[in-house]
Structure 1
């Protein structure tokens, strides 16, 4: 694999600021911010228990695995949104090795802006897959306090990737070419392979698993759900 070239800190910070207005999922603060924070590795070891407990209460469901699934899906979306946005819009891979999370919420921040200039081709796909899937989502899966099927969690990661790409495409349609290419390559890589497929030019997506949200009181099937027979 090509050795990554460090990016200037100000270039990384500029990329993150540029994405922040797209949605909360694209927001990654840098430096000192209000509130209490902890290393995301500690939050993973705890299975993001604070967020799971909040979802259990909000949904009014005794099935903690549903809450854990939705929390993991949301966290995956935050990771993919920032990573895809920085790479496609700014040719920068943000360094998420020192990522922090709110003690009482889902927001993320970096103490210092670091990263690399994006490599090309398969090197880029491998770098992004390793960062999000291996270094972050695998650690979160290992820390979950309830059993959630590995295939479901991988499906959530694929769905989160697709939603991040779709949101970025709506906001920055000029990025369609490189965004579609990279998202497609990622979706066909390692643990993401087989989780679903893009079904249209606007990156509509059909996953091959279900996040279980439809099982909460008043819940419904998501737009990309494999159980939605109307889209078959």
Structure 2
């Protein structure tokens, strides 16, 4: 079956709905006008209804998981946002042949919402669906300022955050390719693989995963959460002995 690439992005990005919650990107006005943008979240000041929505989210994750130190919650919060952004952008690139402009000033976020993170894109502006455009929309527009904020506020290692970003991309590609195979979309499988391969070679992600196995070369620290373990792509095969500097990336 030949994949139909739509000429334009529809206003509600309906093609993403069958892919599940991580891919869904709500469009139009957010349910509350007070919800902050992701641009505000990346700022250091108390600048929104939550004080600062990123700080609020990290504290929420820490409380929910009983994380023993803030940087663990910061890493997990980062992974959640990275997964949402990569999933929505990659899904659009594959199913539409284009991606929406994800300018952080256009994306509103409910930091007090459940997982997957609740995101609203207030205006749909189409961009090309190639790897360069995806990298600009997600890596440059979001994951770099997000990583800088978390590194500064919580001392999360840059290598760990690069690993999170690469792992989130690989996970999104795996989910999208699985859906495409199950629905008889071989062209979507091929396009997903091509885009993911090109993106993982980007200087901002290159080397974060083993090229043969796609296992991480860093750890997200989830094993340090009470009852947590190692993820499927972790650099560890079993949880290491915890120590203050363990697996910092």
Give the TM-score category using the shorter length.
Answer: 0.7 to 0.9
Cα 1:15–1:81 change in 2 (3 A) is farther
Deviation at 1:217, TM superposition (A): 0.5
Report what 1:89 is aligned to: 95
1:123-134 correspondence to structure 2 within 5 Å: 124-134=130-140
Report what 1:179 is aligned to: 192
1:100-111 correspondence to structure 2 within 5 Å: 100-105=108-113, 106-111=117-122
Native 8 Å contact 2:68 2:224 kept in 1: no
Distance 1:196 1:138 in 2: 18
1:115-130 correspondence to structure 2 within 5 Å: 115-118=126-129, 124-130=130-136
Distance 2:14 2:56 in 1: 27
- Is residue 137 of structure 2 the alignment partner of residue 137 of structure 1? no
Native 8 Å contact 2:36 2:110 kept in 1: yes
Distance 2:143 2:172 in 1: 16
TM-score normalized by structure 2? Answer: 0.79
1:112-165, CA deviations, whole angstroms, 9 ceiling, x for partnerless residues? 2111243xxxxx322221221122111112222211000000000000000000
Where 1:26 maps in the other structure, the secondary structure is coil
Where 2:112 maps in the other structure, the secondary structure is coil
1:143-197, CA deviations, whole angstroms, 9 ceiling, x for partnerless residues? 2221100000000000000000011011112211111111011101111000114
TM-score normalized by structure 1? Answer: 0.85
Deviation at 1:64, TM superposition (A): 0.6
Deviation at 1:43, TM superposition (A): 1.3
Relative to its length, the structure with more strand (as a share) is 1
- Is residue 122 of structure 2 the alignment partner of residue 114 of structure 1? no
Native 8 Å contact 1:125 1:189 kept in 2: no
Q: List gaps (5 residues or longer) in structure 2.
A: 1-5, 44-51, 239-249
Where 2:172 maps in the other structure, the secondary structure is helix
Distance 1:56 1:92 in 2: 36
Report what 1:70 is aligned to: 76
- Is residue 37 of structure 2 the alignment partner of residue 39 of structure 1? yes
Native 8 Å contact 2:54 2:111 kept in 1: no
Distance 1:140 1:85 in 2: 21
Distance 1:69 1:100 in 2: 21
What's the C-alpha RMSD, in Å, of the aligned pairs? 2.1
Report what 2:14 is aligned to: 17
Relative to its length, the structure with more helix (as a share) is 1
Which runs of structure 1 show a deviation greater than 3 angstroms over 4 or more consecutive aligned residues?
197-200
1:206-227, CA deviations, whole angstroms, 9 ceiling, x for partnerless residues? 1111000001100000000001
